[in-house]
């Protein structure tokens, strides 16, 4: 890691994870050790009780996590360069959002991107289209890389055929080591930046809310997490809980098998992490310094093969940490319940289809939200993997336009089909094509229907 110029903060963080691995710590959090979180402040109440203070924008930075490639959807570039609408990418809309805040408030709102070694080049090239956003050198923070660990020997993995595959990103929890190790934390504090709003680049619902910023500043909390109500589709996602008077985040990988029913009980554990986080930088610096130069977080042991495309290549562990797990590092951390509209990530082509349809609206300021007809509930979409798992497969299906989904509660599609902007789907709709030839869905309104073509 020293030979690769990895920062001391990142090395110490990796060392902490590696020591957990050697001790065979599972990181499991049994149900018996935690208590559910029953209620939290509501964003709607905050908006009504606190007036946004534009001057706080001068003390705030927006940081987008931009290290993901979207390999699960067949992408080989930063997911933020995927088109949301024709000719408009996630990154374009993020830039539009930041520029809107600068213009409307008159402040120099800081903008930062946490890129990985896989997304840096493409993202920098895309930023060249937006010179008004600032110098890419001042915007980019570069995620660290850590060695993959041979599962049999616990030594650094060796793969001479492709040495770059011996390394992996350490998860978005690496943010804290990046801030400390790059000197960005000290530079931001020296420039008067006290608060950072962090979110994923594929979550266009996560815009900077001045009322939330005012609430966080007034709270005095060093760390705050935006959570939203779990639905049946979220039952496998990480949830908020409490242990020994502190908030914590429990991911599915940290739940013992015997407790899975309780983990997935959305009436018991009601809130999940949107990965929209608020950081107070002076308190973060204190926590990092008091822990010896890094923020100790629980290990996520991710079992893989050294070459992810070759399942016969040596088995390895990728040692990762989750950004949201830092909530347990602060006894006075906070959480706030936000509406579903602040959580609209694109993890699958089903999510992308919803975003490209009229179920979502894009405002002039770059914000993206569900159409009013949706009442903050996105459509449930199930596309068969054989025909739609990859972005290029979805693109083929949308060559004639996206269907109307603003009144569609659920959509299930099997077999190759062609949508168009003349197709209106409402209620519960199932579409099936049993042939191998792509077939066009008839134009018009289809309500609570099964369509066989």
**pLDDT tens for each residue of 81-130:** 999 998 999 999 999 999 998 998 888 899 999 998 889 999 999 999 99
- Domain finish residue from 342, 377, 411: 342
pLDDT of residue 169: 87
Token pair 């705050």 is at which residue?
Answer: 224
Residue 318 and residue 408 share a domain: no
Residue 39 and residue 181 share a domain: yes
Residue 323 and residue 367 share a domain: no
Cα distance between residue 199 and residue 274, in whole Å? 8
- Domain finish residue from 314, 342, 370: 342
Q: Check whether 289 has a pLDDT greater than 90.
A: yes
Calculate the CA 50 to chain-centre distance: 28
Cα distance between residue 18 and residue 27, in whole Å? 13
pLDDT of residue 29: 92
**Domain assignment present for 3:** no
- Among 57, 129, 117, which residue's Cα sits nearest to residue 91? 129
**pLDDT tens for each residue of 145-169:** 999 999 999 999 999 999 999 999 8
**pLDDT tens for each residue of 19-29:** 999 999 877 89
**Domain assignment present for 120:** yes
Residue 353 and residue 423 share a domain: yes
Ramachandran region, residue 71 (left: φ > 0; alpha: ψ -120 to 50; beta: rest) = alpha
The average pLDDT across 198-225 equals 94
Confidence at 341, pLDDT banded by 50, 70, 90: confident
Among the residue ranges 45-59, 101-115, 391-405, 425-439, the one predicted with the least confidence is 45-59
Confidence at 314, pLDDT banded by 50, 70, 90: very high
Residue 294 and residue 363 share a domain: no
pLDDT of residue 440: 96
Paired residues of 301 in beta bridges: 319
Instruction: Residue 320: give its domain's CATH number.
Output: 3.90.550.10
336 within 8 A of 212, measured Cβ to Cβ: yes
Residue 267 and residue 245 share a domain: yes
299 within 8 A of 27, measured Cβ to Cβ: yes
Q: Check whether 139 has a pLDDT greater than 80.
A: yes
Crossing angle for the helix pair 90-105 and 120-127, to the nearest 10 degrees:
50
Computed on alpha carbons and rounded to an integer, the radius of gyration of the chain in Å comes to 22
Q: Check whether 46 has a pLDDT greater than 90.
A: no
Backbone angles phi, psi at 324, to 5 degrees: -65, -20
Residue 285 and residue 357 share a domain: no
pLDDT of residue 76: 78
Backbone angles phi, psi at 362, to 5 degrees: -115, 120
**pLDDT tens for each residue of 360-370:** 999 888 988 88
**Domain assignment present for 2:** no
In the structure encoding, which two tokens stand for residue 77, read together?
């570039």
Residue 153 and residue 265 share a domain: yes
Q: Name the percent of the chain lying above pLDDT 90.
A: 78
Identify the burial level of 320 via C-beta atoms within 10 angstroms of its C-beta, where 0-12 means exposed, 13-18 middle and 19 or more buried. Answer: buried
- Among 74, 78, 76, which residue's Cα sits nearest to residue 89? 78
Residue 362 and residue 314 share a domain: no
Confidence at 13, pLDDT banded by 50, 70, 90: very high
Range of the domain at 134: 8-342
With a CB cutoff of 8 Å and minimum separation 6, the contacts of 302 are 317, 318, 319, 320
Q: pTM higher than 0.85, yes or no? A: yes
The average pLDDT across 384-409 equals 96
Q: Name the percent of the chain lying above pLDDT 70.
A: 100
Instruction: Residue 411: give its domain's CATH number.
Output: 2.160.10.10
Q: Check whether 358 has a pLDDT greater than 80.
A: yes
Cα distance between residue 353 and residue 419, in whole Å? 11
| Total domains, the chain | 2
Residue 409: C-alpha distances to residues 286, 289, 424, 430 (Å): 48, 50, 12, 11
pLDDT of residue 292: 87
Give the chain's mean pLDDT.
Answer: 93
- Domain finish residue from 342, 361, 381: 342
pLDDT of residue 353: 96
């Amino acid at each position: 890691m020293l030979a690769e110029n990895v920062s001391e903060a990142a090395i110490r963080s990796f060392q902490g994870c590696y020591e957990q691995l050697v001790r065979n710590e599972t990181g499991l959090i049994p149900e018996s050790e935690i208590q559910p979180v029953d209620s939290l402040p509501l964003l709607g109440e905050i908006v009504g009780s606190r007036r946004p203070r534009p001057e706080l924008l001068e003390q705030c930075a927006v940081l987008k996590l931009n290290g993901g490639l979207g390999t699960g959807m067949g992408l080989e570039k930063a997911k933020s360069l995927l088109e949301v609408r024709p000719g408009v990418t996630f990154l374009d809309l993020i830039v539009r959002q930041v520029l809107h805040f600068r213009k409307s408030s008159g402040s120099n709102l800081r903008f930062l991107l946490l890129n990985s070694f896989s997304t840096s080049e493409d993202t920098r090239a895309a930023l060249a289209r937006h010179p008004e956003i600032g110098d890419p050198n001042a915007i980019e923070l570069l995620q660290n890389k850590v060695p993959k660990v041979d599962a049999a020997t616990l030594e650094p993995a060796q793969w001479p055929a492709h040495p770059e595959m011996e390394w992996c990103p350490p998860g978005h929890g690496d943010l804290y080591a990046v801030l400390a190790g790059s000197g960005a934390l000290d530079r931001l504090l020296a420039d008067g930046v006290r608060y950072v709003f962090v979110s994923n680049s594929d979550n266009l619902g996560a815009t900077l809310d001045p009322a939330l910023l005012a609430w966080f500043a007034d709270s005095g909390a060093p760390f705050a997490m935006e959570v939203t109500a779990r639905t049946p589709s979220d039952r496998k996602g990480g949830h908020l809980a409490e242990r020994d008077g502190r908030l914590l985040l429990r991911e599915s990988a940290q739940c013992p098998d015997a407790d899975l029913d309780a983990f997935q009980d959305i009436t018991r554990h009601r809130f999940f992490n949107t990965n929209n986080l608020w950081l107070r930088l002076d308190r973060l610096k204190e926590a990092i310094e008091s822990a010896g130069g890094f923020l100790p977080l629980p290990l996520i042991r991710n079992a893989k093969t050294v070459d992810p495309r070759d399942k016969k290549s040596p088995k390895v562990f990728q040692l990762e940490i989750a950004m949201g797990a830092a909530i347990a590092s602060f006894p006075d951390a906070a959480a706030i319940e936000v509406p579903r509209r602040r959580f609209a990530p694109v993890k699958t082509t089903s999510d992308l289809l919803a975003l490209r349809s009229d179920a979502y609206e894009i405002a002039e300021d770059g914000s993206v939200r569900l159409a009013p007809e949706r009442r903050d509930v996105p459509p449930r979409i199930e596309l068969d993997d054989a025909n739609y798992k990859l972005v290029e497969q979805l693109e083929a299906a949308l060559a004639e336009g996206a269907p109307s989904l603003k009144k569609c509660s659920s959509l299930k599609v099997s077999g190759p089909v062609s949508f168009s902007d003349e197709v209106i789907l409402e209620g519960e709709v199932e579409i099936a094509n049993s042939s191998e030839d792509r077939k066009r869905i008839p134009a018009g309104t289809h309500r609570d229907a099964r369509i066989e073509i």
